[in-house]
Amino acid sequence: MPDLTLEIAGLKLDNPVMVASGTFGYAREFESYMDLNRLGAIITKTVTLEPRPGNPPPRIAETPAGMLNSIGLPNVGVERFCSEKLPYLTALSTRIVVNVAGKTGEDFVRVVERLDSIERIDAFELNYSCPNVKQGGLSFSADPVLAQQVTRAVRQATRKPIFAKLTPNVTSISDIGLAVQDGGADAVSAINTFVGMSIDVRTRRPVLSTVTGGLSGPAIRPLALAKVYELCKRLDIPVIAIGGIMSAEDALEFFFAGAKAVQVGTANFVDPDAAIKIIDGLDHHCRVLGVDRFTELIGTLDTGL
Ligand code: RRO
C-alpha cells in the first residue's frame, strides 16, 4: 500500500486531498455520498462574525469548462456556526479547517478568537480573496501590506495553523504570498476564483446579478498551475493547490509543480465523491510509478531547462 500521509503546517493528514471551502457546505450535505473520514481535510464554507444572506440570484452560471459564482459569502455567522454546524464536524475524525472572512482585520481576529479554544478545529484558512463582496474580500489579498497586517494580527490570536487563501487577481501572487509568509502564515491556499463575467446576448443583461463573479473549474486549471508553480518557487511555506482539479492526473500536475496538498472544489458539484476518486487515483498512480511514499512525487517537475 503506498503511503499517502503527510504533515503540513504541523497537521498530520491521512492523504493530501482536501475539499475546498464553499463547495462542500458543512460536510453533512455530502454524508450520503462517501465516508467523510476518508478525506484528507474538510474546509468549511466561510464563516463571518455576523450572519450574511449573500447576494441576490442569479448567483451561479455555467461557462465553457467552468462555473461563475457570485454567492456573496452567505453564512449563519460564527455563533450559529458553533451551535448548529460544528457539533457534526467535530464528531468526524478527519482534519477540520474553518475558513474565516471579515470586513476588517479586527473581524478576522474576533472570529478566530471565538473558535480558537475549540480543540477539534485543526486549522484556520483565512479567506483574503472573495471576489464577490464590496467590503473586505479582494482588498485583503490585493495589498501585501494589508495581507501581512491581518495575518500578523490573527497569528497573535491563535497557535493553530493558519492557511492564507490567495486571489489570482493580482499582478504578482508571490509578492502577496511572501507578505503573508512574513506575517506568520503556515501555508498558502492558492488560488481562489478569477474575476469573470458573462452576458445573455438576447437580453443584453449580465448573467449574474452582481455583473461579475468568480470563475472556477477546469477552465482555470492551467492558470492556477502557473500561479502555484510561481508560489512554490518563491515561498518557503507549503502551497495547497486549488484550481479546476477534477481527477488524480490533474492533482499530480500540481504536486509535480511543488504543491504539498490539493483542494477539490468545482468537481464536487459535478460528482459529489470526486475527492474520494482522486484519493484512490493517487494511490493507483503511486503503485504504477513504483513510489512507496506519495510525498516523493512533490516538486519532481522536470522542466528540461
Ligand atoms: O461566497 C462567494 O461568493 C465566494 C467566496 Br466567499 C470565495 O472566496 N470565492 C468565490 O468564488 N465565491
Q: What's residue 81's pLDDT?
A: 98
Going by alpha carbons, the residue nearest to atom 11 of ligand 1 is 214
Q: What is the mean pLDDT of residues 93-106?
A: 96
Of 47, 69, 128, 208, the one to substitute when testing ligand 1's pocket (max ligand atoms within 8 A of C-beta) is 69
Ligand 1 center from residue 137 Cα (angstroms): 9
Query: How confident is the model over 221-259, as pLDDT tens digits?
Result: 999 999 999 999 999 999 999 999 999 999 999 999 999
Going by alpha carbons, the residue nearest to atom 8 of ligand 1 is 130
Q: From the alpha carbon of 129, which atom of ligand 1 is closest? A: 8
Q: Within 10 Å of residue 154's Cβ, how many Cβ atoms?
A: 26
286 is catalytic: no
Of 71, 129, 135, the one to substitute when testing ligand 1's pocket (max ligand atoms within 8 A of C-beta) is 71
Banded pLDDT at 130 (limits 50, 70, 90): confident
Q: From the alpha carbon of 72, which atom of ligand 1 is closest? A: 3
Ligand 1 center from residue 218 Cα (angstroms): 17
Banded pLDDT at 136 (limits 50, 70, 90): low
- What's the mean pLDDT when you consider all of the chain? 96
Q: From the alpha carbon of 73, which atom of ligand 1 is closest? A: 1
Q: What's residue 132's pLDDT?
A: 76
Ligand 1 center from residue 120 Cα (angstroms): 25
Q: Which residues of 5-42 are buried (b: 16+ CB within 10 A; e: fewer)?
A: ebebbebebbbbbbbbbbbbebbeebeeebebebbbbb
The fraction of the chain above a pLDDT of 70, given in percent, is: 99
Query: How confident is the model over 278-290, as pLDDT tens digits?
Result: 999 999 999 999 9
- Which domains are present in the chain? 6-53+71-194+216-297 (3.20.20.70)
Q: What is the mean pLDDT of residues 210-218?
A: 97
